[in-house]
Amino acid sequence: MKILVCISHVPDTTSKINFTEGDTKFDTNGVQFVINPNDEFGLTRAMWFKEKQGATVDVVNVGGAETESTLRKALAIGADGAIRVNAAATDGFFVAKQLAEVAKNGGYDLIIAGRESIDYNGGMVPGMLAELIGANFVNNCINLEVDGTAATAIREIDGGKETSSTSLPLVIGGQKGLVEESDLRIPNMRGIMMARKKPLNVVEPTDAEKETTAVKFEKPAPRGAVKLVDAGNIDELISLLHNEAKVI
């Protein structure tokens, strides 16, 4: 089984976010980038298929040269090879087109993507990718088993879980639950050294129009001042909730 894991290069959630050029560009100064958490769950599941079923695992990213450190981390975790599409990942449809081209050329049986990236939170790419390559699709996937060309997937739905039987080729939008956080892997020194010798191929993007453009970014409004009320002063609390907060 050949597996392709889609990797997004995203800011660490602890990073302080700022914008430049009139709030039209993301300021990368001082920002640490990581593997998108939803993608990391998928990569770890792919490692399970590699170890238990002898699958081969490639990782792919759409981005500039600055994203290669993230791909190298994926290689250090255990992926066999990496592909970087040399283009900025600023539009969901454009990214899906690039990933589809890689998937078609590689003849992959299973494509694992995160259900969304934590920077743009678009949640569009896995579904569009599946449509572009004519593969089955399961989103919000929290468990996946593969037996030959048959697959059983469990996904989260409103109020519960849904189990689906499907077949390869398959695209999933994975999330926490596909593996648990305790299963995530930290590259060891041997993995880091081996990653230097593994192939990282750079390919130029295929022609595709970008359907969306970010015009301006805006940070959330800062939190307002907090008023503390003595635990025994119920009258003041009620007055503030009624007259200032206007919630009662």
Q: What is the pLDDT of residues 224-248, one digit of tens each?
A: 888 899 988 999 999 989 998 888 8
Looking at residue 98, its pLDDT comes to 97
Give CA–CA dist 70/67, Å, rounded: 6
Indicate the angle between helix axes 125-133 and 92-106, nearest 10 degrees.
40
Looking at residue 139, its pLDDT comes to 96
Q: What is the mean pLDDT of residues 201-226?
A: 89
Portion of the chain with pLDDT greater than 70, in percent:
100
Predicted confidence (pLDDT) per residue in 94-123, tens digit: 999 999 999 999 999 999 999 999 988 889
Q: Is 193 exposed, middle or buried (0-12, 13-18, 19+ CB in 10 A)?
A: exposed
Q: Read out DSSP for 194-214?
A: HHTTS-EEEEPPPP-------
Model confidence band, residue 15 (pLDDT cutoffs 50, 70, 90): confident
Portion of the chain with pLDDT greater than 90, in percent:
78
| Mean pLDDT score of the chain | 94
Predicted confidence (pLDDT) per residue in 183-200, tens digit: 999 999 999 999 999 999
Model confidence band, residue 169 (pLDDT cutoffs 50, 70, 90): very high
Residue type for position 28: T
| CATH 3.40.50.620 assigned to 2-218 | yes
